[in-house]
Chain A
Amino acid sequence: MFSCKTSPEVGGMGHSVKRKEDARFLHGKGNYTDDVKLPGMLHMVMVRSPYAYAKILSIDKEKALAIDGVLAVITGEDLAQYNLHWMPTLLSDSQMVLPTDTVMHQSQEVCAVIATDRYVAVDGAEAVDVQYEPMQAIVNPFKALDENAPLLRPDKEGQKDNHIYHWERGDKAKTDAAIAAADVVVKERIHLPRIHVASIETCGVVASYDKDTEKMLIYLTSQAPHAIRTILALVAGHVGLSEEKIRIIAPDIGGGFGGKVPVYPGYVVAIAASFLIGKPVKWIEDRSENLVNGFARDYHMDCELAATKDGKIQAFKVSTLADHGYTDSSANPSKYPTGMFSICTGSYDYEHAFAELDAVYTNKAPGGVAYRCSFRVTEAVHAIERMVDKLAAEIKMDPAEIRFKNFIKKEQFPYASPLGWSYDSGDYKATLEKAMEMVGYDDYKKEQAEKRAQGKLMGIGICTFTEVVGAGPSKDFDILGIAMFDSAEIRVHPTGKALARFGTKSQGQGHETTYAQILAEELGIPYTDIEIDEGDTDTAPYGLGTYASRSTPTAGAAAAIAARKLRDKGKKIAAHLLEVSEDDIEWEVGKYFVKGAPEKSKTIQDVAFAAYTNFPQGMEPGFEATHYYDPPNLTFPNGAYICVVEVDEETGAIDVKRFVAIDDCGNIINPMIVEGQVHGGLTQGIAPAMYEGIVYDDEGNVLNGTLMDYLVPTAVESPHWETGHTITPSPHHPLGAKGVAESPTVGAPPAIANAIIDALYPLGIKHLDIPITPDKVWDAIRKAKAEA
Chain B
Amino acid sequence: MAKHKVTMTINGASVSAEVDSRLLLVHFIRENLDMTGTHIGCDTSSCGACTILIDGKSVKSCTYLAVRADGANITTIEGIAADGTNHPLQKAFHDQHGLHCGFCTPGMIMRSIELLETNPNPTEEEIRWGISGNLCRCTGYNNIVKSVQQAAQEMSKEKEATV
Q: Which residues of A are at the interface with B, using a C-beta cutoff of 8 A?
A: 18-19, 21-32, 34-35, 37, 118-119, 197-202, 252-257, 284, 286-287, 507-510, 672-673, 675-684, 706-708, 712, 714-716, 718, 720-721
B100 at interface by CB-CB < 8 Å? yes
In the complex, chain B residues 42-61 whose Cβ is within 8 Å of any chain A Cβ:
42-44, 46-47, 49
A27 near B37: Cβ-Cβ < 8 Å: yes
A676 to B101, CA, bound (A): 12
Are B93 and A22 interface neighbours, CB within 8 A? yes
Query: B78, A712: Cβ atoms under 8 Å?
Result: no
The verdict on B34 contacting chain A, using a C-beta distance below 8 Å, is yes
Q: Is A721 a contact of B142 with CB atoms below 8 Å?
A: yes
The contact of A715 among B106, B109, B144, by CB within 8 Å, is B144
- A22, A28, A287, A675: the one contacting B78 at CB < 8 Å is A28
Interface string of B119-155 (1 = CB under 8 A from A): 0000010011101111111111111110000000000
Q: Which residues from B are CB-within-8-Å of A253? A: 101
**Contacting residues, chain B, for A676 (C-beta < 8 A):** 97, 100, 139-140, 143
For B37, what are the chain A residues with a Cβ–Cβ distance below 8 Å? 27-30
18 A-B residue pairs with Cβ-Cβ distance under 8 Å, sorted by A, are A18-B97, A30-B37, A37-B34, A118-B31, A199-B101, A200-B39, A200-B41, A201-B39, A201-B41, A253-B101, A287-B46, A510-B100, A675-B97, A679-B141, A683-B141, A707-B42, A707-B46, A715-B132
Q: Say yes or no: B127 contacts A715, CB within 8 Å.
A: yes
Cβ distance A455 to chain B, nearest Cβ, rounded Å: 28
Contact of B44 among A21, A30, A201, A707 (CB under 8 A): A707
A682 to B141, CA, bound (A): 10
CB contact under 8 A between A712 and B135, given known A25-B105, A254-B101: yes
List B22-45 residues whose CB lies under 8 Å from chain A: 22-23, 27, 30-31, 34-44
Instruction: Say yes or no: A255 contacts B138, CB within 8 Å.
Output: yes
Chain B positions within 8 Å of A252 at CB level? 101-102
| Seed contacts A29-B37, A508-B138, A715-B132; 7 additional CB < 8 Å A-B pairs | A25-B105, A37-B34, A199-B137, A676-B139, A683-B137, A707-B47, A712-B47
5 tightest Cβ-Cβ pairs between the two chains A and B: A28-B37, A25-B102, A254-B103, A508-B101, A679-B140
How many angstroms between the C-alpha atoms of A257 and B136 in the bound complex? Answer: 13
Contact between A26 and B132, CB atoms less than 8 A apart: no
Contact B138 A30 (CB under 8 A): no
- Alpha-carbon distance A365/B77, docked complex (angstroms): 37
A261–B93 Cα distance when bound, in Å, is 28
Report how far A37 CA is from B46 CA in the complex, Å. 26
Q: Indicate if B94 sits at the interface (CB-CB under 8 A).
A: yes
> In the docked arrangement, what's the CA distance between A350 and B90, Å?
52
Tell me the complex Cα distance, A509–B43, Å: 26
**Chain A contacts for B101, CB-based, 8 A:** 25, 199-201, 252-256, 507-508
Contact between A715 and B128, CB atoms less than 8 A apart: yes
B85 to chain A, nearest CB (A): 10
Contact residues on B (Cβ < 8 Å of other chain), bracket: 35 or more
| Chain A residues whose CB sits within 8 angstroms of the CB of B36 once the complex forms | 28, 31-32, 34-35
Q: Which residues of B contact A256 (CB under 8 A)?
A: 101
A715 with B131: in contact, given A19-B97, A200-B137 (CB under 8 Å)?
yes
Q: Which residues of B are found within 8 Å of A720, using beta-carbon distances? A: 124, 142, 145
Q: How far is the CA of A202 from the CA of B104 in the complex (A)?
A: 12
Contacts of A287 in B (CB 8 A): 41-44, 46-47
Nearest B residue to A723 by beta-carbon distance?
B142
Inter-chain contacts of A678 with B (CB < 8 A): 140
What residue of chain A has the Cβ atom nearest to residue B45's Cβ? Answer: A708
Chain A, residue nearest B77 (CB): A28
Chain B nearest CB: distance from A751 CB in Å? 15
Please determine whether A254 and B102 come into contact, CB atoms closer than 8 angstroms: yes
* A200, B103: Cβ atoms closer than 8 Å: yes
A712 touches B39 (CB 8 A): no
Instruction: Judge whether B20 is part of the interface by a CB distance below 8 angstroms.
Output: yes
* Residue of B whose beta carbon sits closest to that of A31: B36
Contact: A30 with B141, CB < 8 Å?
no
Residues of A within 8 A of B93 (CB): 22, 26
CA distance A254 to B42 in the complex (A): 13
Q: Smallest Cβ distance from A773 to chain B, in angstroms?
A: 18
Known interface pairs A680-B139, A721-B140; A200-B44 also in contact (CB < 8 Å): no
Contact across chains for B78 and A718 when beta carbons are under 8 A apart: no
Chain B's nearest CB lies how many Å from the CB of A23? 8
Collect the chain B residues with CB atoms within 8 Å of residue A708's CB: 44, 46
Q: How far is the CA of A677 from the CA of B81 in the complex (A)?
A: 28
Q: Which residues does chain A contribute within 8 Å of B38, judged by CB atoms?
A: 28
A679-B137 in contact (CB<8A): no
In this complex, the member of B37, B81, B90, B138 whose beta carbon has the largest number of chain A beta carbons within 10 angstroms is B138
Cα separation A284 to B42 with both chains bound (whole Å): 11
Q: How far is the CB of B30 from chain A (nearest CB, A)?
A: 8
Q: B95 an interface residue at 8 Å Cβ cutoff?
A: yes
A252-B102, A255-B103 known; A118 vs B27 contact (CB < 8 Å): yes
CA distance A721 to B103 in the complex (A): 22
How far is it, in angstroms, between the C-alpha of A680 and the C-alpha of B104 when the chains are bound? 13
- On whether the beta carbons of A680 and B128 are closer than 8 Å, the reply is no
What separation, in Å, do the CA atoms of A706 and B40 have in the docked complex?
14
Q: Which A residues are in CB contact (< 8 Å) with B141? A: 679, 683, 714-715, 718
B99, CB-defined interface residue at 8 Å: yes
Contact of A200 among B20, B30, B49, B127 (CB under 8 A): B49
Q: Which B residues are in CB contact (< 8 Å) with A198?
A: 137
Nearest CB on A from B95, distance (A) = 7
User: Chain A: which residue is nearest B141 at the CB level?
Assistant: A715
CA distance A677 to B140 in the complex (A): 8
B103 touches A681 (CB 8 A): no
Determine if A679 and B39 form an interchain contact, defined as CB atoms under 8 angstroms apart.
no
**Is B138 in contact with A715, judged by CB distance below 8 angstroms?**
no
Cα of A684 to Cα of B141 in the assembled complex, Å: 11
Contact of B109 among A26, A680, A683, A712 (CB under 8 A): A26
Interchain CB contact under 8 A, A119 and B20: yes
Chain A residue contacts of B41, Cβ below 8 A = 200-202, 254, 287
Nearest opposing residue in chain B for A68, CB measure = B1
User: Shortest distance in angstroms between B26's beta carbon and chain A's nearest beta carbon?
Assistant: 11
CA distance in complex: A720, B123 (Å): 13
Give Cα distance in the complex from A510 to B97, angstroms: 10
